[in-house]
């Protein structure tokens, strides 16, 4: 059960590529085999939180929906709070919203207006960086509430889509890069 020698390659080998899901042309990165394996999931969260000491971060912010899985585990590991950025219409209280462009149409993400105190030190986390639109919108929400983003952390990055370019103002780190 030891995860001490886990490498990003061990994680990469467990990511399942599903062609043409949810639509033709998309190579969907299925992370459920990683989550279901104790050694891989624990090792993944350890790598995601590497470089941060417990107590040094106020909150880990996770993006709806797979980002919640990693961000909540990372928050527990770092003894930090967990804050969700959700798709529009899901959060019950007062929210800030941020829209971003998709290939066809727009998406909107939201955060509770009181979720993060101004000056809070946060990590923003999601399962996968593709075009970067989602993470950039989430980062804009965090700026709106006055948070300091220490790092934007992804399990997987599809580097050929160039999403990093949309996140120029923060350190961006990914465990598995395609």
Burial (CB < 10 A; 0-12, 13-18, 19+), residue 121, is: middle
Q: Enumerate the active-site residues.
A: 66, 103
Cα 56 from chain centroid (whole Å): 19
76 or 178, CB closer to ligand AMP?
A: 178
Q: How far apart are CA 171 and CA 151, in angstroms?
A: 5
Output the smallest distance, CB 164 to ligand AMP, in A: 10
Q: What pairing do the DSSP bridges indicate for beta strands 59-63 and 81-87?
A: parallel
Matching residue, tokens 């066809």: 104
Output the smallest distance, CB 6 to ligand AMP, in A: 22
84 or 163, CB closer to ligand AMP?
A: 163
77 or 131, CB closer to ligand AMP?
A: 131
Output the smallest distance, CB 123 to ligand AMP, in A: 16
**In sequence order, which residues have a C-beta less than 8 Å from that of residue 93 and are 6 or more positions away?**
112, 113, 114
List C-alpha distances in Å: 159 to 70, 120, 124, 162, 163: 20, 29, 18, 5, 7
Provide the binding-site residues for ligand AMP, judged by CB under 6 A: 26-29, 63, 66, 126-135, 163
Output the smallest distance, CB 127 to ligand AMP, in A: 5
52 or 155, CB closer to ligand AMP?
A: 155
């Amino acid at each position: 059960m030891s995860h001490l020698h886990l490498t990003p390659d061990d994680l990469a080998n467990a990511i399942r590529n599903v062609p043409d899901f949810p639509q033709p042309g998309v190579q969907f990165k299925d992370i459920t085999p990683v989550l279901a394996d104790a050694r891989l999931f624990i090792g993944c969260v350890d790598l995601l939180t590497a470089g941060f000491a417990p107590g040094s971060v106020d909150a880990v912010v996770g993006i709806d929906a797979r980002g919640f899985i990693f961000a909540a585990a990372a928050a527990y590991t770092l003894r930090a709070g967990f804050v969700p950025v959700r798709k529009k219409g899901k959060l019950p209280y007062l929210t800030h919203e941020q829209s971003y462009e998709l290939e066809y149409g727009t998406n909107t993400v939201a955060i509770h207006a009181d979720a993060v105190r101004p000056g809070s030190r946060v990590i923003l986390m999601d399962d996968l960086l593709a075009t970067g639109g989602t993470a950039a919108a989430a980062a804009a929400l965090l700026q709106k509430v006055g948070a300091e983003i220490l790092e934007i952390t992804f399990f997987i990055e599809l580097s050929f889509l160039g999403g990093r370019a949309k996140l120029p103002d923060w350190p961006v780190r990914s465990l598995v890069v395609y």
